[in-house]
Amino acid sequence: MILGKLPLYRVWKARYGTHFKRRRFERIMKLVPLSSDHPVRILEVGCSSGKDFIQFLDGPNVEIWGVDLDDDAARSIQHSGFHFVHADAEQLPFDDKFFDLVVSIGLLEHIEPMEKLCRVIAEFDRVGVHQLSVIPSVSTIIEPHCGRLFFPRRLEKTMIGDQPGQILHLNFLSDHSWTKFEGFRNCQVTRLF
Ligand SMILES: C[S@@+](CC[C@H](N)C(=O)[O-])C[C@H]1O[C@@H](n2cnc3c(N)ncnc32)[C@H](O)[C@@H]1O
């Protein structure tokens, strides 16, 4: 069943989407030990229009950067003091440990090939003191890219095509597998719903 195609689901998402994004923002920010005695530098990689994260950041003590390959969406970000940098996540133009926190939401499941994914995660580790990535779990009940119920159903032909060589362009790894990346060593896995 594809929930994402149901009109009721679209209404639900439009009406309550921001509420749940805010709730996720509040939950993930509790996971990061950020000090408030100096301005905190935060980078979102794959920031798009900032609807997942940047829109909720507030306060005089926060300096916000965003990186994306697509600068169109980022132009809509009106946050005061927001700096946008057009760059590829695998080569971030910042000094080592420049940021107190590097965030990505809905980015890493799209990065391929795997060699590039390794470089991207290594960059997060290089430029950030702390890092936080939100990635769909392999055991998610609702596949978030198509609103389809239950993980195994995502492998249907409608999602990957039926031509030889067509593959699913999404990284769905187990929680445990994500911790195997060198850039994620010492990272903690937390399930959100
Ligand atoms: C699903 S969107 C993230 C949405 C975003 N978190 C928000 O608040 O709207 C993924 C974003 O990652 C960007 N992206 C994909 N690959 C990238 C890369 N290699 N380097 C930088 N940005 C990338 C895409 O352009 C897209 O805007």
For ligand 1, whether the C-beta of 109 sits within 6 Å is no
Compute the distance from residue 50 Cα to the ligand 1 centre, in Å.
Answer: 10
107 lines ligand 1 (CB under 6 A): yes
- Determine the Cα–Cα distance for residues 37 and 61; give it in Å rounded to an integer: 8
Low-confidence ranges of the chain (pLDDT < 50): none
Ligand 1 proximity of 57 Cβ (cutoff 6 Å): no
Is the C-beta atom of 66 inside 6 A of ligand 1? no
Atom of ligand 1 at shortest range from CA of 54: 8
Class of domain 3-184: alpha beta
Q: Which two tokens stand for residue 42?
A: 């935060």
Element (H, E) at 21: helix 7-29
The response to whether residue 50 sits with its C-beta less than 6 Å from ligand 1 reads: yes
What pLDDT, on the 0 to 100 scale, is given for residue 115? 97
The reported pLDDT for the residue numbered 158 is 64
CA-wise closest residue to 90 among 190, 186, 187, 183:
183
- Predicted local distance difference test score (pLDDT) of residue 160: 67
Residues 6+ apart with CB under 8 A from 10: 4
Residue 107: both structure tokens together:
């980015």
pLDDT at 153: 55
Rounded Cα distance between 137 and 173, Å, is 7
The residue extents of the domains of the chain are 3-184
